[in-house]
Structure 1
Amino acid sequence: MTDLQIAGVVKGYGSGERVLDGLDLSVPGGSLAAVLGPSGCGKTTLLRVIAGFLRADAGTVTVGGRTLSAPGTHLPPERRRVGIVPQEGALFPHLSVARNVVFGLTGVDRAARNRRVGEMLDLVGLGGYGDRMPHELSGGQQQRVALARALAPQPQLVLLDEPFNALDSALRTGVRDDVRAALRATGATAVLVTHDQQEALSTADLVAVVRGGRVAQCGTPQDVYHRPADPWVADFVGDAVIVTGTADQGTATTPLGRVPLAAPAPGVREGLVLLRPEQLRLADADGAEAHGTVTEVRFYGHDAMASVAVDGLDAPVDVRVPGQAPVRPGQRTGLRVTGEATLHPAQTPGSCT
């Protein structure tokens, strides 16, 4: 297993604007890291720098201690031992599945190549599909072939460039699970670039949220979701409830009542308190610390999101409720907070454009 280390990587284009602005990222060997961020924040540029398609202006990229990119050093893509799974598979349409998979295998005799192709197709659940042509496969099967092709040369690192975008939602989850299982089976280190928050949180071991060419936060999906680095990260990674609060002895006083804090915020007494909609509960008005009126209910099947205009707040807050909950617009309700919140300074970095 080989770790990926990115330190101080800078990349700009002709206008002089830096797309990557001193980006740092560390991915342990055998882990799958999701690079998550909105359009224009440097995700794809980072992937291309790691792959060797772009030369970094500064900084270093190493895999397993081997330097791929550094001042004065730029290994070409074919020498990096990096496999790439692009969007929509990008298979060669005139080659069979087996010949697509074998494409990157060089310096190996025919028997070894055939054996490796069979192993890779079995690994991605397509054993026996070697003679088929790409147009005879579904979109999900094409993505599996693309993964098999990337894994066949036993790369040190696998890069996945939003590979599930073209799949419908019903198929996407299954293919993601298959890809994750195949990567784990080979022990490959992998980086998945995505703008889909659910995809990043449900698939990766680590999530790196990119903003303005830098990593705003990197951690486990649980840490990034429950302990976001700032309100921007909280709002980007998932639905967020953000209210003002004043901290005192491990709790914060907010318009929603007193809320326990997950960790002290050194030097911050007044700021923004971050919660998730599932931490709020609709409750009887008697005894509740906050009260409001339901203004809208958005139904998603397994659950629903109720918007509540809270007395004393200018903007409504979202409360996640069970899908079968009898909630209706115009209903008066009390509100309770469960779990811990995080407190941050009111001034936060802006998002990228």
Structure 2
Amino acid sequence: MLSITNVSFRYNERAVLNAVSARVHSGDCLAIVGESGSGKSTLLKLIFGQMDVDGGTIFWKDQAILGPKNKLVVGHDFMKYVAQEFDLMPYTSVFENIGDHLSNFYPDEKKARVKELIEVVELEGFENTKVQFLSGGQKQRVALARAIAKRPEIILLDEPFSHIDNFKKQSLRRNLFDYLKTNNIACVLATHDKNDVLSFADQMMVLHGGSVLVTESPSNIYSDPRHPLVAAFFGEYSNINGEFYYAHQITLVDDSLLKATVKHSFYKGHYYLIEADLNGVLVCFKNATALKEGSVVSLTLKR
């Protein structure tokens, strides 16, 4: 189990993280979300031992995770970290990059292992391509495969799908998180994407200004956001009398006491997002068709 207890970190006298605590069991995934600059990447670096904590402790099982002041070589054999900057060998092939740390004493096993990982990250056909000729998204997939090649006990992922196009992102998510769960690998994931969280994270930590707003299951946080930052992470929302409503929870009806004036209709594919004025408050709701600007409509709220 990963144990993070009251971890604090300062940079140039500025508090970056304040008394952050969390627990991650083997095979579980903790998603860390928050605005840019909230401390997500910093926390991953502290967990990896790349920087020293200013307060608190970090343990994997019974082993303390120490920073550069106490450990000359950064990192541990049981932990891998995929940063936003890929640590790859550009002049060697995809196969060589992924298999770099696998033993050459068992060439058949190595070949089978690399083949398995190439399938996980959906890079079939690129085995012999040099990394320098890959796109950013393909390089990110090589970095992911390289990180899980030796079956770490825990993996740290910083925006792991940020360079990957939507054509591949959905299936890659499923493949990777299924692989981690099946192999009982703990995962700590920093992300801005709700799709990384809702279906795959066991716990979700929301950071704001370096402090933890909430840590709970994604379903609990989604159902009761309690903070505009949390509601905004999951999508369009409206603050009506201090309560947060997602766009699908506000419905157009024939008549009600809630009257709103339509301002804009935004085409979203299978629905329109309607922006309207409700007694001076801007609200957003979904509707099957566009509505005429300036028209007055009746709404109902559903939680």
Decide whether aligned partners of structure 1 residues 235 and 125 sit closer, same or farther in structure 2, where only a CA change above 3 A counts.
Answer: closer
Q: Contact 2:121–2:172 (CA<8 Å) still a contact in 1?
A: no
State the match for 2:254 in structure 1: 284
In 1, distance between residues paired with 2:168 and 2:85? Answer: 13
Q: Contact 1:34–1:193 (CA<8 Å) still a contact in 2?
A: yes
State the match for 2:47 in structure 1: 50
In 2, distance between residues paired with 1:155 and 1:302? Answer: 42
SS class of match (1:87): coil
Could you tell me which amino acid in structure 1 is paired with residue 8 of structure 2?
Answer: V
State the match for 1:307 in structure 2: 275
In 1, distance between residues paired with 2:290 and 2:148? Answer: 50
Could you tell me which amino acid in structure 1 is paired with residue 293 of structure 2?
Answer: P
Map Cα deviations across residues 231-273 of structure 1 (whole Å, 9 max, x no partner).
44323443222122xxxxxxxxxxxxxxxxxxxxxxxxxxx22
Map Cα deviations across residues 116-137 of structure 1 (whole Å, 9 max, x no partner).
3334334434456433322454
In 2, distance between residues paired with 1:336 and 1:229? Answer: 20
Map Cα deviations across residues 77-104 of structure 1 (whole Å, 9 max, x no partner).
3335211223364421112222211223
Map Cα deviations across residues 59-90 of structure 1 (whole Å, 9 max, x no partner).
111223432249x9658433352112233644
1:157 equivalent in alignment to 2:125: no
State the match for 2:299 in structure 1: 335
TM-superposed CA distance for 1:39, in Å, is 1.1
Kindly tell me the number of residue pairs found equivalent between the two proteins.
Answer: 301
Map Cα deviations across residues 294-333 of structure 1 (whole Å, 9 max, x no partner).
11111111222112222xx2222111223xx252222221
Please give the TM-score of this superposition, normalised by the length of structure 2: 0.88
**Aligned match of 2:286 in 320, 326, 335?**
320
Q: Contact 1:207–1:221 (CA<8 Å) still a contact in 2?
A: yes
Decide whether aligned partners of structure 1 residues 21 and 74 sit closer, same or farther in structure 2, where only a CA change above 3 A counts.
Answer: farther
State the match for 1:347 in structure 2: none
**Aligned match of 1:33 in 17, 30, 33?**
30
Instruction: Give the greater-gyration-radius structure (CA).
Output: 1
**Counterpart mapping for 1:88-103 below 5 A:** 89-103=86-100
Question: Could you list the runs of 5+ residues in structure 2 that have no partner in the other structure?
Answer: none
Moved more, 116-125 or 272-281: 116-125
Q: Contact 2:82–2:143 (CA<8 Å) still a contact in 1?
A: yes
In 1, distance between residues paired with 2:3 and 2:290? Answer: 51
Map Cα deviations across residues 211-250 of structure 1 (whole Å, 9 max, x no partner).
1112211222221211114344323443222122xxxxxx
Q: Contact 1:68–1:80 (CA<8 Å) still a contact in 2?
A: no
In 1, distance between residues paired with 2:135 and 2:170? Answer: 15
In 2, distance between residues paired with 1:227 and 1:153? Answer: 39
State the match for 2:245 in structure 1: 275
In 1, distance between residues paired with 2:86 and 2:184? Answer: 22
Decide whether aligned partners of structure 1 residues 195 and 75 sit closer, same or farther in structure 2, where only a CA change above 3 A counts.
Answer: farther
Could you tell me which amino acid in structure 2 is paired with residue 284 of structure 1?
Answer: D
1:12 equivalent in alignment to 2:16: no
State the match for 1:343 in structure 2: none
Question: Could you list the runs of 5+ residues in structure 1 that have no partner in the other structure?
Answer: 245-271, 340-353
Could you tell me which amino acid in structure 1 is paired with residue 260 of structure 2?
Answer: G
Could you tell me which amino acid in structure 2 is paired with residue 333 of structure 1?
Answer: V
**Aligned match of 1:297 in 254, 261, 265?**
265
Decide whether aligned partners of structure 1 residues 120 and 169 sit closer, same or farther in structure 2, where only a CA change above 3 A counts.
Answer: closer
Moved more, 205-214 or 276-285: 205-214
SS class of match (1:191): strand
Could you tell me which amino acid in structure 1 is paired with residue 208 of structure 2?
Answer: R
SS class of match (1:77): coil
Map Cα deviations across residues 196-222 of structure 1 (whole Å, 9 max, x no partner).
334433443322111111221122222
In 2, distance between residues paired with 1:60 and 1:88? Answer: 26
RMSD: 2.5
Q: Percent of aligned pairs with the same residue?
A: 31
1:109 equivalent in alignment to 2:75: no
Could you tell me which amino acid in structure 2 is paired with residue 275 of structure 1?
Answer: Y
In 2, distance between residues paired with 1:182 and 1:277? Answer: 34
Could you tell me which amino acid in structure 2 is paired with residue 337 of structure 1?
Answer: L
TM-superposed CA distance for 1:193, in Å, is 1.0
Q: Contact 1:24–1:214 (CA<8 Å) still a contact in 2?
A: no
Could you tell me which amino acid in structure 1 is paired with residue 210 of structure 2?
Answer: G
Q: Contact 2:81–2:147 (CA<8 Å) still a contact in 1?
A: yes
In 2, distance between residues paired with 1:137 and 1:185? Answer: 29
